[in-house]
Structure 1
């Protein structure tokens, strides 16, 4: 017996038409080099309709890839809908990748047109001749004074000359590709993840649920996480679906600029990687952020001390989310649950330091990397986190990677090692490639880093493995001291001694100016391993493994 429900595809045109019809009065604000621009969703929708015609005029094929090389702006949001609603595929390009990676990605995806913010012309113009599939570059003027190369088209001129599409956008097959984003992996070429209309809509619905972002029409949302990184965690589509007002930070991503936008527009929800919130912490006391109800933090493990600092200064802690490009990206959220109510504040802080419970429709398991056995959710056993669900990738574009990241039964191998309690609250221990195996026992670098960053004088810390003749590997702590403070390696070890097992204590502490970051703001331990690859510890230590 079959159900008697209408068979309507889950596609992004519904998100567009819903926003256009019901939320035309809501606003999208964009910070630019010379001030701010503001438009209503009604005005924005009209521009999307003109942009749909522009894509036809440019000759973009029926399922052609539309590249974007842009900051978080209202005009980037126009491309977010115009491309997939006309059957094309939005391809957001990471503006922080190495030049050779950018050229590779554009050619691999076969981008036909690339839209570029004017301030980013100096980055992409020298590479344009190498991008063989691109037939046209279109410049979005964001107020910068960069010279526009000859032959490149002007975005506003194209829109002004275009007649708006007046019909209803239709994508008949919900499994049609809507967008693609390449991983920012540190080894080998980036690999393409292709999101379907169905996966994008379902993921957007999750952002509206109470135990996720709980986005609603009442919210004012500022996505700090770049729109070129895993669809800005689904916030653009989620906000349009909910009817939230949007504040786009544009090219000025300094902590001071973000703090000012949060205060001036009375933002209620924002999200970004830990480095953003680390940089903004010293100045939050200078701004009224009392309207914030959620600060989502992800991309890498959030130090407990950082979250607690926001709780005491702003009034709300950071809310951890975990995921990756391959998971669209939201897979877990660490929002408080009823069984946490009886805990002390210190115990709740420990819960907030976890990555959280899988959101609905995401299945998750812990698998021992050696035996392949599924581990229990007992908060003791650890294993690689594997995920499955309707917005989890099943393979990479063009079969790159040979399927090594996917199990025989179709689960995604995330490369993250963790544990989880009986409620499914995940706690990351490390990346499989970053674990330190000392004397046959594993040391989790992420956990050790969080303990080091709890020191009041430490701004950042990264832990990597260094060779040891006796123990194979030992931890080296790379520490960034807060401005105006002084700290010794001995003080770091003394601080750690009561907090971790004796054999976890680093063999050495190196003080560095900053922890190198990847293109999406994560700690680049590969860079640190290259720098300290030949590191030798001077003499024996008193805290070696037993």
Structure 2
């Protein structure tokens, strides 16, 4: 049964996207249309490879048709939300195409999330179905899904993947192969995905994208990076994250490439996969670049097929780019900048080693403003907040009030990041206004953790800030003012008991008598971030 969702009546395209279709900046079809064409023209070519097998374009299309028919037989109709919390398995790509052809809205959820986050996200988007592994990495996802389903009346179906029984992915495929495929009319400008990202208030924000907006950024990046049909891309980033979803699941359909999926990151495995499949490039977190370069140097492997490594999601020191370039025969490592709301504002500098190390890339396909605190534009070279607007940006948030706060009067997205633009068309990110911690490329809301800690009766005040982390860029540090006798280990257990994902549990607690504040009473987190960075440096 169709569920009326908050965004069902939103104007399409959104006001800030007016004219993109008429100017030819948006594709006229969906990702499912591209999948059908690829199956007909290059059916035998391999589209996806994972740890247990591979899928050709023809097999991808056939399985997607069967899955779409199977889901329709279970009562799912155009407009319903279908969530998936899957590792980097090829079944995720099949589900993505099946949803697109059926007019279903897809909701990717990162596998590291647990009950608290899943319950909130599924409840907010009113998901009708959820696909999860039967079990993965010692976590019983089926049991976790059943626990949250008790609080979610809209969640009618929990389907397992690589499991068993009538509610398994394999059963849906088997059922659907003998049924007609649903063929609703799907608007390429309509909502195709709701993807949750951490908000500064502690409430995740549901980022809405259309078929057209995502195809735009994928096509532009493939062109800019020189990707050619038939080439392979390695995808270690989660396909439930905007980078992995776009460059892993959808890049083959837009650019005719092959995605080599990694279920979990391991530098030696990455070396082997790049060599075996002649991988041309990847988009991944900065620690992966460091570890891949180190492994390549240690083994004397120069990976001649690898042409680019796009990294971002956290601060990237220039030396990382310089040293990584030395490890490979032809690879250009570079920094990129973007977010779920504005995917890839910059696309790096593949052909400019000097700028690749010192900036976050060339601005492509976006109008960018650098503004001061009053919203006034600043000249090149001056630091201010980065605002961006373009054909690949989101439709808005699932919550219209959040959208209104995030966009300025001209439709520019307030990124919350600080930076400066240069005369070469490049952008350098210098800091952050938003109260977020970026740990290994994943956004973590400081406010969410603070709320959990403040629920403890022995906590009087708290401030959660980013601290340096050698591998992941940033870690989680909690400054706590106590009003009772409680130790750091107990506070960590309290956060864990709230049901949050493991990576949100503070790795370090600083027990203090008071927190520094401005004259208006606001906590000076800039002071705390500097203090913990200096303290950790002195401990080395």
Deviation for aligned residue 1:112 = 0.9
- What's 1:68 paired with? 84
The 8 Å contact of residues 78 and 103 in structure 2, kept in 1 or not, is answered as yes
- What's 2:61 paired with? 45
- Rounded to whole Å, the distance in 1 between the matches of 2:388 and 2:261 is 31
The 8 Å contact of residues 308 and 317 in structure 1, kept in 2 or not, is answered as no
Deviation for aligned residue 1:51 = 0.8
The 8 Å contact of residues 63 and 94 in structure 2, kept in 1 or not, is answered as yes
Q: Does 1:289 align with 2:289?
A: no
Per the alignment, do residues 413 and 168 of structure 1 end up closer, same or farther by CA in structure 2, a change over 3 Å counting? same
- What's 2:140 paired with? 122
Structure 1, unaligned runs of 5 or more: 143-147, 341-347, 436-444, 447-474, 483-520, 542-546
What SS does structure 1 have at the residue aligned with 2:399? helix
Per the alignment, do residues 88 and 68 of structure 1 end up closer, same or farther by CA in structure 2, a change over 3 Å counting? same
Select 1:178's aligned residue among 178, 192, 197: 192
Alignment of 1:36-435 (within 5 A): 36-120=52-136, 122-123=140-141, 125-131=143-149, 132=152, 133-141=154-162, 153-163=167-177, 171-185=185-199, 187-209=201-223, 211=224, 213-230=225-242, 232=244, 234-235=246-247, 236-250=249-263, 252-285=264-297, 286=299, 287=301, 289-315=303-329, 316-327=331-342, 329-336=343-350, 348-360=353-365, 362-369=366-373, 371-377=374-380, 379=381, 381-401=382-402, 403-433=404-434
The 8 Å contact of residues 27 and 41 in structure 1, kept in 2 or not, is answered as yes
- Rounded to whole Å, the distance in 2 between the matches of 1:194 and 1:306 is 34
The 8 Å contact of residues 289 and 309 in structure 2, kept in 1 or not, is answered as no
Deviation for aligned residue 1:400 = 5.0
What SS does structure 1 have at the residue aligned with 2:287? helix
- What's 1:19 paired with? 38
When the two structures are superposed, what TM-score results if normalisation uses the length of structure 1? Answer: 0.71
- Rounded to whole Å, the distance in 1 between the matches of 2:36 and 2:406 is 37
Deviation for aligned residue 1:292 = 0.6
Deviation for aligned residue 1:257 = 2.5
- State the superposition RMSD in angstroms: 3.6
- Rounded to whole Å, the distance in 2 between the matches of 1:319 and 1:191 is 29
Deviation for aligned residue 1:349 = 3.1
- Rounded to whole Å, the distance in 1 between the matches of 2:140 and 2:44 is 37
Alignment of 1:449-528 (within 5 A): 478=468, 480=470, 527=506
Deviation for aligned residue 1:231 = 5.5
- Rounded to whole Å, the distance in 1 between the matches of 2:128 and 2:372 is 43
What SS does structure 2 have at the residue aligned with 1:38? strand
Per the alignment, do residues 317 and 532 of structure 1 end up closer, same or farther by CA in structure 2, a change over 3 Å counting? farther
Structure ranking higher on relative contact order (CA contacts 8 Å, 6+ apart)? 2
Give deviations 1:151-201, integer Å, cap 9, x for gaps: 771211221232267779564422221111101346411110111122122
What SS does structure 2 have at the residue aligned with 1:43? helix
Per the alignment, do residues 52 and 422 of structure 1 end up closer, same or farther by CA in structure 2, a change over 3 Å counting? same
Deviation for aligned residue 1:423 = 2.4
Per the alignment, do residues 75 and 8 of structure 1 end up closer, same or farther by CA in structure 2, a change over 3 Å counting? closer
The 8 Å contact of residues 334 and 350 in structure 2, kept in 1 or not, is answered as no
When the two structures are superposed, what TM-score results if normalisation uses the length of structure 2? Answer: 0.72
- Rounded to whole Å, the distance in 1 between the matches of 2:38 and 2:295 is 35
What SS does structure 2 have at the residue aligned with 1:207? helix
Equivalent pairs counted in the alignment come to 435
Deviation for aligned residue 1:22 = 1.8
- Rounded to whole Å, the distance in 1 between the matches of 2:254 and 2:466 is 46
The 8 Å contact of residues 394 and 412 in structure 1, kept in 2 or not, is answered as no
Deviation for aligned residue 1:528 = 7.0
